[in-house]
Amino acid sequence: MKESTGLGIVETKSAVLFSPPRERTLEGGEKAGPVTIAYETYGRLNPAGSNAVLIAHALSGNAHAAGFHEGDAKPGWWDNMIGPGKAFDTDRYYVVCSNVLGGCAGSTGPASLDPRTGEPFGTEFPLVGINDMVDCQKELCDFLGIGKLLCVTGGSMGGMQALSWLTRYPGRVRSGIPIATTMRHSPQQIAFSEIGRQAIMSDPNWNNGRYYGKKPPAKGLSLARMIGHITYMSDESMRSKFGRGRKFETQASKLVSDFLVEGYLRYKGEGFLKRFDANSYLYLLRALDDFDATNGRPATEVFAGLEAKILVIAFESDWLYPIWQSKEIVRAAESAGVDVRYCEIPSTYGHDAFLLEAEEQTPVIRRFLEEVSGTDQVI
């Protein structure tokens, strides 16, 4: 592997898709269009258009997956995995990442202006499903001149998008790498979403989604994010990071304890307010819960006839998307005769491992992509 130098400065661009008369009917039955989709690309598309890798982001992610924005101290959210010589090697592959429909980082979402009223959509925004996010990505691929994706990948909600691609557009993908994800939410996962929803909707500032230009439901969103963080870490990673350590500061109330882990969660919850919209959070939670890659079919039929190869990656200590759910994907693919590999990584980081375990994931993914691209002239 060559020494990584990173991508340097990158930029978010945007594309307007589904303009009239090409409006799209969404999964929930409502219409959308035109929609703006924010995206970034790294590397170059080869003349054959055969070296494109689509990265799908998780709940709180965005199009800025790698490299630095001008003036930023921190790179994109998967910079340890995307770049020259990295897992998704931009010397070989053309990497695309877009912000999901319903998001709040450049793509059309509940905070966008409703052209009918000139006001932000709020809860008038149509319900969006994982499949709708994918359909925007497919439209974006057309726009970028990508015929068939070499690979579609992502962790968590990103993994669901990979599964949606594989099951709904098998002719448009040569491979998929669903990471730390599931074919559908279990009731425990729905329950955690519901807590997040209730936290936001119980905040009086939420005001049925009409808070734009006023005080946003900061406490509710921050609380929802804190809950998320607990589920992203493992019991063990919390122990090694915080133990029962305390910080000895003056406390706001004697009822508030001062354990380090509490300070960390509050800090994470508050930091989230700067970059996320509460209504988007609600829409995306709903999309996560509603997603079902089986679409009511028996597991054995989910990947029937699929020619794309699949690499499923799961992490031992991930209790939010436990390994049995990844194994379920593998079984479904195996039973359909799909070329599927399973890689279980013994990380202690919990669900966050897909963002952190670059060293473990890199050789597995590089090898898989090399095999999929085969004798292709990738660049």
Residues with a catalytic annotation lie at 156, 318, 351
117 binds a copy of itself (CB under 8 A): no
Tokens read off for 105: 């980082």
Q: Beta partners for 52?
A: 94
- Residue 204 per-residue DSSP state: G
Spatial separation of the C-alpha atoms in residues 199 and 265, rounded to whole Å:
15
Spatial separation of the C-alpha atoms in residues 71 and 88, rounded to whole Å:
24
Binding mask 300-339 for a copy of itself (x = CB under 8 A): -------------------x--x-----------------
Q: Which stretch binds a copy of itself (CB under 8 A): 13-21, 146-154, 228-236, 327-335?
A: 228-236
Q: Exposure of 257 by Cβ count < 10 A (0-12 exposed, 13-18 middle, 19+ buried)? A: exposed
Tokens read off for 251: 């406390």
Q: Which stretch binds a copy of itself (CB under 8 A): 7-15, 133-141, 180-188, 310-318?
A: 180-188
63 binds a copy of itself (CB under 8 A): no
56 binds a copy of itself (CB under 8 A): no
Spatial separation of the C-alpha atoms in residues 257 and 111, rounded to whole Å:
36
The candidate with the shortest Cα–Cα distance to 281, out of 367, 194, 348, 344, is 194
- Residue 214 per-residue DSSP state: S
Whether residue 184 contacts residue 208, with contact meaning beta carbons closer than 8 Å, is answered with no
230 binds a copy of itself (CB under 8 A): yes
Candidate residues 53, 128, 166, 199; the one interacting with a copy of itself per rule CB under 8 A: 199
223 binds a copy of itself (CB under 8 A): yes
The residue among 266 and 366 lying less far from a copy of itself, judged by its C-beta, is 266
289 binds a copy of itself (CB under 8 A): yes
187 binds a copy of itself (CB under 8 A): yes
Residues 6+ apart with CB under 8 A from 321: 156, 159, 180, 181, 182, 189, 314, 351
219 binds a copy of itself (CB under 8 A): yes
| Residues lying near a copy of itself in the complex (CB under 8 A) | 28, 123, 127, 184-188, 190-195, 197-199, 201-204, 208-209, 219-220, 223, 226-227, 229-230, 233-235, 238-239, 241-244, 253-257, 259-262, 265-266, 282-283, 286, 289-290, 292, 319, 322
